[in-house]
């Protein structure tokens, strides 16, 4: 089915519109109505006039379908306050604080009673052992509903739990280690933990260690509270969110390393083959860094856009930046319909949209400082209402702070951290 150039644009717009429309429903339609609507929309895909409306309807129904099953995977009120013995696996990097260790726990579905969700956020308060991702435990857990305290100037915990697919809270009463793991399916999380442990064992200063861990793996659990406040007051928290620029630097490093290797491999001088291998190495480096970052929304968006651009380069075709942005937006919304429930989704995509609006039409060469000022002005103007809506705050010194912090972190700190990540793959020391 060939839709042509215009159709490719409209198709992405329709998918994005339908997926976002699902978030404006105040109540969920029944599953049979969603199935009936989807079937009718699939039939309309073969007719030119209603094709894009049908695409939007399919995307909307897909997201609402996911909302239904996410709501079904929540703790049954009958289990609230009860203590159950559950076998399962630690499914996230444990975050250790002064009073507790927090981690996501996936109970074994074969031995878990109906009504207990597939993922719990567990707090271990007393006699805490050394925990690692992928370990299998038998835990006695006191179960609680997925609620959070009212917070008018911070994040909505209940919304965050829903977006992460966490259907309940629990606190540990006692536990027995069944297997040191890592369990199947936890290889990426185990790799992230290995990198975190390597950094922790080599960087003694906690302040530096917390920042490096955040830039290397997107794990901010070791950051000092004073640093969190400082980043928030100066509007520079986004620099520790592994996103487009960081992924692009990783891809550039991978492509540069492939070019360097080409000098020692004569077969690599064969034009097209050399370009193909270089693109593949760049994508591999970007994907690896995104995996270390836990595949957050900004990293997924950046990898998809990078893939579109490099694929166009490989096929000797041009692609408009806005089209790559739309494809990435549609892909994120369809693979993770809950992404718009997090601030990172809006910050990531709107920041890139602001930069494209500012620079995509320009043909005049600008100086480095002019480019930086224009980029920061565009991003700050677009994200100001978003930040105010999500966090009820605004940093008056953010503009000046970012003028210094963005080039410093992006072109000095991040390349050093990426080089360290690459070195860990060769030698632990």
Determine the Cα–Cα distance for residues 166 and 14; give it in Å rounded to an integer: 30
User: How long a stretch of residues is the chain?
Assistant: 429
pLDDT of amino acid 1: 38
State how far the alpha carbon of 208 is from the alpha carbons of 93, 197, 413, in Å: 20, 14, 11
102 burial class (0-12, 13-18, 19+ CB within 10 angstroms)? middle
Determine the Cα–Cα distance for residues 93 and 219; give it in Å rounded to an integer: 8
The three state secondary structure string of 71-98 is HHCCCCHHHCCCEEEEEEEECCCCEECC
Determine the Cα–Cα distance for residues 214 and 225; give it in Å rounded to an integer: 14
Collapsed DSSP state (helix, strand, coil) of residue 335:
helix
pLDDT of amino acid 8: 67
Determine the Cα–Cα distance for residues 308 and 300; give it in Å rounded to an integer: 12
Q: Identify the DSSP state of 322.
A: H
Q: Give every CB contact of residue 155 below 8 A, 6+ residues apart in sequence.
A: 343
Q: Identify the DSSP state of 113.
A: P
pLDDT of amino acid 387: 78
Q: Strand 101-107 and strand 83-90: pairing?
A: antiparallel
Q: What are phi and psi of 270, to 5 degrees?
A: -85, 60
Judge contact between 239 and 255, C-beta under 8 A.
no
| DSSP secondary structure of 169-201 | EEEEEEEEEEE-SPPTT-HHHHHHHHHHHHHHH
Cα dihedral 121/122/123/129 (nearest 10): -140
Q: What are phi and psi of 264, to 5 degrees?
A: -100, -5
State how far the alpha carbon of 348 is from the alpha carbons of 29, 52, 167, 417, in Å: 30, 26, 26, 21
Residues of the chain with confidence (pLDDT) below 50: 1-4
Determine the Cα–Cα distance for residues 281 and 276; give it in Å rounded to an integer: 9
Q: Which residues pair with 144 in a beta bridge?
A: 169
């Amino acid at each position: 089915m060939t839709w042509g150039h215009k159709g490719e644009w409209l198709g992405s717009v329709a998918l994005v519109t339908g997926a976002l429309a699902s978030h404006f429903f105040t109540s969920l339609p029944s599953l049979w109505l969603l199935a009936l609507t989807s079937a009718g929309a699939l039939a309309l895909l073969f007719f030119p006039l209603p094709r894009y409306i049908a695409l939007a309807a399919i995307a909307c129904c897909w997201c609402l379908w996911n909302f239904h099953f996410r709501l079904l995977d929540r703790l049954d009120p009958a289990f609230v306050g009860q203590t159950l013995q559950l076998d399962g696996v630690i499914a996230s990097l444990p975050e250790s604080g002064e009073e507790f260790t927090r981690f996501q726990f996936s109970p074994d579905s074969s031995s878990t009673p109906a009504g207990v969700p597939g993922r719990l956020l567990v707090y271990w308060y007393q006699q805490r052992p050394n925990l690692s991702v992928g370990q299998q435990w038998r835990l006695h857990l006191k179960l609680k509903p997925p609620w959070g305290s009212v917070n008018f100037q911070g994040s909505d915990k209940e919304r965050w739990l829903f977006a992460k697919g966490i259907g309940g809270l629990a606190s540990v009463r006692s536990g027995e280690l069944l297997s040191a793991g890592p369990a199947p399916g936890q290889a990426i999380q185990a790799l992230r933990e290995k990198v975190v442990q390597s950094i922790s064992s080599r960087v003694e200063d906690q302040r530096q260690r917390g920042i490096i861990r955040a830039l290397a793996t997107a794990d901010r659990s070791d950051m000092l509270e004073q640093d969190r406040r400082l980043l928030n007051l100066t509007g520079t928290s986004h620099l520790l969110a592994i996103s487009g620029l960081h992924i692009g630097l990783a891809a550039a490093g991978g492509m540069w390393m492939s070019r360097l290797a080409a000098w020692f491999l004569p077969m690599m001088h064969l034009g097209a083959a050399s370009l193909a291998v270089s693109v593949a190495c760049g994508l591999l480096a970007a994907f690896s860094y995104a995996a270390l970052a836990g595949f957050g929304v900004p990293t997924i968006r950046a990898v998809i856009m990078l893939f579109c651009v490099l694929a166009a380069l490989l096929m000797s075709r041009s692609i408009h930046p806005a089209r790559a942005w739309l494809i990435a937006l549609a892909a994120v919304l369809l693979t993770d319909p809950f992404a718009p429930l997090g601030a990172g989704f809006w910050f990531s995509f709107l920041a890139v949209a602001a930069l494209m609006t500012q620079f995509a039409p320009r043909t005049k060469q600008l100086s480095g400082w002019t480019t930086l000022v224009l980029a920061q002005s565009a991003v700050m103007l677009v994200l100001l209402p978003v930040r105010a809506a999500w966090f009820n705050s605004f940093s008056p010194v953010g503009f000046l702070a970012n003028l210094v912090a963005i080039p410093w972190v992006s072109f000095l700190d991040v390349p050093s951290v990426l080089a360290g990540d690459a070195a860990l793959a060769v030698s632990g020391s």
